[in-house]
Chains A and B, each alone.
Chain A
């Protein structure tokens, strides 16, 4: 079957790119621009590798983050973040960051201010709580029988809480304080 016969109808299908002179002729300006754009994009890609690469330190941290992968721990999902979900009060400054995490029947409420961290477990229960800022824990807290816990060191940067309660390990979703 002759390629030429198809051309009027289904030009856009671009099936016979390799063959017909007419085809090449007609598309020349676009093909040129496409090639030029591909080349330009590739030059930019090379420039990025030189001028704005992933910092080596960050690459190392990402590789070490593998240690955070823990199939046995349950994840407490972030279900409320005042930064996203709350309507800001006009004129209010230095409002605390309110976070709520859920995992099964457990709720973890956390309030982060410049002065530290306050937390509440619901239903109320005691727990050992580690504050994580990376693969290593940086502080150990205790939730009392009422489920309350606090720290005078406000978390900075990425953090998560690892809770041990009633034989279970629950880790809050990582987020940035």
Chain B
């Protein structure tokens, strides 16, 4: 008799803010303290939000050099606008959308300069830096890191849209859906369903390879 919750309802029930509300609750206070000259507050903002900024850069698959410059531009501009930001508690969304705009500019500039739009070209630049080497040194970490690398491979092999969405979602601490929306220009309401579909796809890939 019980038919359970329909899939659509299950989507709707997902809280848009997830863990974000907890981790982000004091962003507004930190911004205000930083405006008043509190260096520690600024540092806390960097620690709490720079993984989000970085995830946006990485989600757009910029080359190392471009990505580093975008990241810096975003933080320089944030420091510049500090105290003039209208909604301090939404600083994460401000940073995410600024990062997105700068990433899109880079991509636009590349298209203008490069005769080809070949995405391989863009990918190669970022592959140069695959940071795995630094990780896998220690003996005891070897088995664990094999799993991690395996998971990462399958994640990287997902389609562009899924890879992009998940790359931002898995920033640490977890961004709110508002921040993800600002980072990727997608409606808050579509993030939950997209996330579910992408993770389901990733799970299927992992299952197919018999892992985890």
Which residues of A are interface residues toward B (Cβ below 8 A)?
A: 7, 11-12, 14, 22-23, 25-30, 33-34, 36-37, 40-41, 43-55, 58-59, 61-63, 65-71, 75, 81, 83-84, 88, 95, 134, 157-158, 160, 171, 173-176
Contact A69 B34, beta carbon cutoff 8 Å: yes
Contact A26 B2, beta carbon cutoff 8 Å: yes
Q: List 23 A-B contacts (CB under 8 A).
A: A11-B5, A30-B5, A36-B203, A41-B169, A41-B170, A45-B170, A48-B167, A48-B170, A48-B171, A51-B135, A51-B148, A52-B131, A55-B68, A61-B72, A61-B75, A66-B39, A66-B79, A95-B112, A157-B72, A158-B73, A160-B76, A174-B76, A176-B106
**A54-B51, A68-B76, A134-B72 given; A26·B3 CB < 8 A:** yes
Contact A34 B10, beta carbon cutoff 8 Å: yes
Contact A58 B50, beta carbon cutoff 8 Å: yes
Say which residue of B34, B39, B202 sits within 8 Å of A40 (CB atoms).
B202
Write the nearest CB–CB distance from A63 to chain B, whole angstroms.
5
Chain A's interface: helix, strand, loop or mixed, by majority? helix
Interface with A: B21-29, B180-188, B193-201, which one? B193-201
**A26-B5, A176-B73 given; A54·B54 CB < 8 A:** yes
Say which residue of A33, A63, A75, A175 sits within 8 Å of B43 (CB atoms).
A63
Write the nearest CB–CB distance from B180 to chain A, whole angstroms.
12
Which residues of B are interface residues toward A (Cβ below 8 A)?
A: 1-7, 9-10, 12-13, 34-35, 39, 42-43, 46-47, 50-51, 54-55, 58, 68-73, 75-84, 102, 105-106, 108-109, 112, 130-132, 135, 145, 148-149, 151-152, 155, 166-167, 169-172, 174, 195-196, 199-200, 202-203, 212
Say which residue of B5, B72, B130 sits within 8 Å of A58 (CB atoms).
B72
Write the nearest CB–CB distance from B106 to chain A, whole angstroms.
7
Chain B's interface: helix, strand, loop or mixed, by majority? helix
User: What are the residues of chain A within 8 A of B109 when measuring CB–CB?
Assistant: 83
Contact B77 A174, beta carbon cutoff 8 Å: yes
**A62-B75, A71-B83 given; A45·B108 CB < 8 A:** no
User: What are the residues of chain B within 8 A of A45 when measuring CB–CB?
Assistant: 170-172, 174
Contact A43 B203, beta carbon cutoff 8 Å: no
Say which residue of A40, A88, A173 sits within 8 Å of B112 (CB atoms).
A88
User: What are the residues of chain B within 8 A of A175 when measuring CB–CB?
Assistant: 73, 77, 102
Write the nearest CB–CB distance from B22 to chain A, whole angstroms.
15
8 shortest interchain CB distances as A-B pairs? A26-B4, A26-B2, A12-B9, A68-B79, A174-B76, A158-B73, A62-B75, A174-B77
Say which residue of A27, A51, A75, A157 sits within 8 Å of B131 (CB atoms).
A51
CA distance A54 to B43 in the complex (A): 14
Beyond A23-B2, A50-B135, A158-B69, 11 additional pairs, beta carbon < 8 A: A14-B5, A27-B5, A40-B203, A44-B155, A52-B58, A58-B68, A63-B46, A65-B75, A69-B79, A69-B80, A175-B102
User: What are the residues of chain B within 8 A of A29 when measuring CB–CB?
Assistant: 4
Residue of B at shortest CB range from A93?
B113
Contact A47 B76, beta carbon cutoff 8 Å: no
